Amino acid sequence: MPSAFNNEHKPGDLAISVQHLGLTYTTTIDKRPTLKARVRALGRGTKQTRIVRALDDVMLDVPYGSVLGVVGANGAGKSTLMRVISGILPPSQGRVEVYGKVSTLLALGVGFNPALSGRENVQLGGLAAGMSRKEIAAHFEEIADFAELGDAIEAPMRTYSSGMFARLGFSVAVTVRPDILIVDEALSTGDAKFKEKSLNKIKELRSDARALILVSHGLGTIRDVCNEVAWLHKGALIQRGEPNEVVDAYEKFLKVKKSAAVNEDI
Amino acid sequence: MEKSTSAPIEVYQPFRAGLPPLRRYWRSLWARRSFISEYSRSELHSKHFDTVFGQVWLIINPLLLSGVYFLLIVIIGGHSDKIRYAHLTACLFLFYFVSNTLAGGSRSVVKGQKLILNTAFPRIMLPISAALIGLIRFLPTVFVFLVIRTVIGLPVRWEMLWAIPVAFITAIMALGLSILISCVNVYFRDVSSFLPYFSRTWLYLSPILYEVAQLKPSIRKFEAFNPLFPILDSWSRSMVHAKAPHMMSLVQGLAWALGFLFIGTYYFLSRERDFAVRV
């Protein structure tokens, strides 16, 4: 089937190249920008904004046929980096080159409107991501099967549990067979059975010469499936290399003892 | 096939101020046109999801609205002026098209937050969808009005077809306003709270509860500042009186509509890359 999401790639070809990437943005101190706050700020002559440096000179290459794990504490810039790679946030410095179609796990926007059913959300998310109605229809059965939602696929998504949300999102992301798949922290809410199923799917995609980026706090999974791991801290790339080595360093940094609890948690 | 060895498919770099590459943007927008219709359909569907009447509300709403004014003017007011009643109903329906679109448009970008944060797509699709929703809600009201004017026995003439270009101009204006206000609302959230009062004021300042001909000349000077003035006048002339509208009114209305569309689109496109960190 001809599809925008179905190009062949040789393992080792470059999929993503991130060069000297920096991202800064100004944000208002108030949570919501309002006219009143602006007028007040004008009156006092103070600037009610601060500059957030979310990413700082990040260099990364991801070849096809590999899985890059990204680890880091909360607020390290992991999700921001994924958003830049998916073209959602424009970078402030540097350059990102993407050699294929990217599908982030949440990129298909699944569940963006809780009043709509799972089916409608999948369709709308797919259309927003640039797929055609035909492509979505062709994949829909597979998506519903993989997510194991049953009849719930027709119910409004506000009735879903967080596990159901995550399952549907993951199913969409992997079933449309993107060249480049970004999975951001979504395996963590599924149950044990679904976790295993998704891990198998990730391994399958890896051997299928796709490129994957896996963002997770589950260090056991990272060691298990990744070829390379990048450790981000406060927007900067601290270390990058062989999974065990980087994860060991990261664990040491977290002062977390290598206990069974950490390894089991995905 | 060997795309990966040649040029990259996407390159993301810091953007300069101003507009994104327009041709590319347009292509990306056109490729997603089915999103716009699907989104509007789902939104309308979900709005009446739990109701007994469902989509029939699209007809019930304008019927009830005209019923309220029928009660007010004909029964309580004791006027048996059918032209006045028809004028009010027709103009009210057209006004609600613009003000509903304005209200939907103002929320569209902020409401699409989750989608904006997780998917790369031309953001302008959201206010366009809001305008389409407004249009879909407007069309049944035209039908309701045609039934009303048949029942009360207003003359039917070919000049009524002028209502089509007038509705078209109104749609352009609603689209332009939707795009403009959706972007403004990202930066000033207060806008959506002001909006109901603004709409209500606009309603009273427009020739809806009265006809243009009834206005004092001293007040008519200010009509040039009301974008809906020439449109409502033309709409009433064609739909109610079955006469051709003044050419000048049509030109004025079109100028306002295109003005809003261009300004709104320019403002939106030059700002939209900032939305992901703003919503």
A149, A168 Cβ separation under 8 angstroms: yes
The verdict on B13 touching A (C-beta cutoff 8 Å) is yes
The pLDDT tens digits of the residues spanning B171-206 come to: 999 999 999 999 999 988 889 899 999 999 999 999
CB atoms A107 and B5 under 8 Å: no
CB atoms B46 and A112 under 8 Å: no
User: Which two tokens mark A259?
Assistant: 């206990």
User: Which two tokens mark A124?
Assistant: 């709308």
CA B127 to CA B178: how far, in whole Å? 6
CA-wise closest residue to A57 among A238, A214, A211: A238
Q: In A, which residues are within 8 Å of B275 by CB distance? A: none
Question: What CATH number is associated with residue A60?
Answer: 3.40.50.300
CA-wise closest residue to B111 among A126, A162, A112, A157: A112
CB atoms B13 and A87 under 8 Å: no
The alpha carbon of residue B278 is apart from the nearest alpha carbon of chain A, in Å, by 8
CA B114 to CA A22: how far, in whole Å? 23
**Burial (Cβ within 10 Å: 0-12, 13-18, ≥19) of residue B71:** exposed
Q: Which of A35, A90, A107 sits opposite B119 (nearest CB)?
A: A107
The pLDDT tens digits of the residues spanning B58-96 come to: 888 888 988 898 888 778 877 778 888 899 999 999 999
A19, A183 Cβ separation under 8 angstroms: no
Angle between helices A118-128 and A133-147 (to 10 degrees): 130
CA A209 to CA A65: how far, in whole Å? 4
Q: In B, which residues are within 8 Å of A129 by CB distance? A: 119-121
B187 to chain A: nearest residue by CA?
Answer: A33
**Does a structural domain hold residue A33?**
yes
CB atoms B12 and A84 under 8 Å: yes
Q: In B, which residues are within 8 Å of A95 by CB distance? A: 11-13
- Domain extent, residue A260, equals 14-108+176-264
The whole-number average pLDDT for the span B33-40 is 91
* Amino acid A104: pLDDT: 64
SS3 at position A1? coil
The alpha carbon of residue B24 is apart from the nearest alpha carbon of chain A, in Å, by 13
**Does a structural domain hold residue A152?**
no
CA B152 to CA A5: how far, in whole Å? 58
Phi, psi for residue B241 in degrees, rounded to 5:
-90, -10
Q: Which of B32, B114, B277 sits opposite A89 (nearest CB)?
A: B277
Decide if pLDDT at B225 tops 60: yes
- Residue-wise burial string across A88-109, b where 16 or more C-beta atoms lie within 10 A, e elsewhere: bbbbbbbebbbbbbbbbbbbbb
Element spanning B41, H or E: helix B33-47
Neighbours of A61 (CB within 10 A): 15
CB atoms A113 and B3 under 8 Å: no
CA A60 to CA A91: how far, in whole Å? 14
B194 to chain A: nearest residue by CA?
Answer: A35
* Amino acid A256: pLDDT: 56
Phi, psi for residue B201 in degrees, rounded to 5:
-65, -45
Length of chain B in terms of residues written: 279
CB atoms A100 and B4 under 8 Å: yes
Q: In A, which residues are within 8 Å of B187 by CB distance? A: 33
Q: Which of B9, B42, B273 sits opposite A90 (nearest CB)?
A: B273
* Amino acid A5: pLDDT: 47
**Burial (Cβ within 10 Å: 0-12, 13-18, ≥19) of residue B129:** buried
Q: In B, which residues are within 8 Å of A104 by CB distance? A: 118
3-state SS of chain B: helix, strand, coil percent to 5? 75, 0, 25
| Structure ipTM | 0.79
Element spanning B25, H or E: helix B22-31
**Does a structural domain hold residue A216?**
yes
* Amino acid B203: pLDDT: 92
* Amino acid B134: pLDDT: 95
CA A84 to CA A99: how far, in whole Å? 14
Task: Select the highest-mean-pLDDT range: A157-161, B52-56, B132-136.
Answer: B132-136
Mutation site for B-interface testing, chosen from A55, A86, A124 by largest number of B Cβ within 10 Å: A124
List average pLDDT for each run of 10 residues in chain A, which is 266 residues long.
53 87 76 64 64 88 90 87 87 89 62 82 84 88 88 88 83 81 73 84 82 86 89 91 92 68 49
CB atoms A33 and B42 under 8 Å: no
CA B55 to CA B212: how far, in whole Å? 35
User: Residue type at A251?
Assistant: E
Q: In B, which residues are within 8 Å of A112 by CB distance? A: 112, 114-115, 118
> How far is residue B204 from each of residues B88, B153, B198, measured CA to CA in Å?
12, 27, 10
**Does a structural domain hold residue A128?**
no
Share of chain B above pLDDT 90, in %: 55
**Does a structural domain hold residue A85?**
yes
Compute the Cα dihedral for A242, A247, A250, A252 and give only its sign: negative
Q: How many domains does chain A have?
A: 1
Length of chain A in terms of residues written: 266
CA B234 to CA B175: how far, in whole Å? 19
* Amino acid B17: pLDDT: 67
A126, A176 Cβ separation under 8 angstroms: yes
CB atoms B118 and A88 under 8 Å: yes
A109, B115 Cβ separation under 8 angstroms: yes
**Does a structural domain hold residue A137?**
no
The pLDDT tens digits of the residues spanning B230-248 come to: 999 999 999 999 999 999 9
CB atoms A125 and B8 under 8 Å: no
User: What is the average pLDDT score of chain B?
Assistant: 89
A32 to chain B: nearest residue by CA?
Answer: B189
Tell whether pTM > 0.90. Answer: no
Mutation site for A-interface testing, chosen from B16, B27, B115 by largest number of A Cβ within 10 Å: B115
- Cβ neighbors of B82 (< 8 A, separation 6 or more) are B152, B153, B154
CA B252 to CA B166: how far, in whole Å? 11
CA-wise closest residue to B12 among A78, A96, A103, A25: A96
CA B42 to CA A63: how far, in whole Å? 39
Mutation site for A-interface testing, chosen from B12, B42, B108, B275 by largest number of A Cβ within 10 Å: B12
CB atoms B3 and A109 under 8 Å: no
B142, B50 Cβ separation under 8 angstroms: no
Q: Higher-confidence residue: A146 or B49?
A: A146
**Does a structural domain hold residue A29?**
yes
CB atoms B35 and A124 under 8 Å: yes
DSSP E strands in chain B: the ranges are: 10-12
**Does a structural domain hold residue A115?**
no
